[in-house]
Structure 1
Amino acid sequence: MEVTAVQGDITRQQVDAVVNAANHRMRGGGGVDGAIHRAGGRAILDDCIRRFPDGLATGDAGWTTAGDLPAAWVIHVVGPNRHAGQTDRGLLLSCYSRALEVADELGARIVAFPLVSAGVYGWPKDDAIAAPLEVFRSAMTAVEEARLVAFDAPTYELIREALG
């Protein structure tokens, strides 16, 4: 699997699936979650409500339609919230491995990922970059490209450096 870094808006990526850093309720929110729900339209929320009436557990993943996004699917993951005492790195790793499993179930070959938990959930950025790279390097998946999407230039440069 090729791992690439992109600076830009995850909601505009021309990919098979976009990964959403959702909260456990899966009803929209701030950051990446809010951006995906706004850009994708009501269809994403309606599908979240229908498919996940009780939300998702931290570390888990599930998919919905992508609504008006250029992708076919949104793969929602619930990252650990360090500010709420969720410090188990295994939960963060699980977000990426479960997202790849869901992508394989869907037949998605190009998947755009945000840095899960790196925003308001307070995960240290260096580890928020190291965690997906660790999973991607050892994953047995049919995904051909895992695209790490950074909204800002400093984060993009950190990802590029980590990729070598």
Structure 2
Amino acid sequence: MDERRTLAWHETLEIHELVAFQANGLIKLKKMIREVTDSRLKQLYSFSIQAIEQNLKELLAFFPQAPIYNRDDEEEERADTPFYSGDLLGFAKTSVRSYAIAITETATPQLRIVLVKQLNAAIKWHEQVFNYMYEHGYYPAYNLADLLKNDVKNARRAISMK
């Protein structure tokens, strides 16, 4: 059997991260564009929306090749709580990464102490948001099939938003 007919596990998880991040970002852009009054900025928002929609469509085409993916039983669209908590999780995750990178660039001992303290706080914040999402079933971290199903649902919702 040619194993390349399915995605590798690590590829699947990277695509999950990209789709989850971009679907949340797309929803935010589509909500925010309504408030943008500057015509050039509105064009940039429109361009960004089209580019991310295309990215999602291209990435979703790979989901049937994931090692574990079952299209059945895709849930009905829920309220915005999963979106808002997912957006918060993405922000917390990005904060952890940003602090870790900043620490590697720090030469001043006092600044390093502050950044390490803030990194540890960001890690705790991420943990709290993740636990909230996991407890409410918004992030089924231990069930790849459900995780991918959520990605597809959120990406389709983001693409179909007006």
Q: What TM-score comes out, normalization by structure 2 length?
A: 0.28
Structure with a larger share of its residues in strand: 1
Instruction: Give the structure with the larger helix fraction.
Output: 2
Flag the structure with more relative contact order, 1 or 2, with Cα contacts below 8 A and sequence separation at least 6. Answer: 2
Select the structure of larger CA radius of gyration.
2
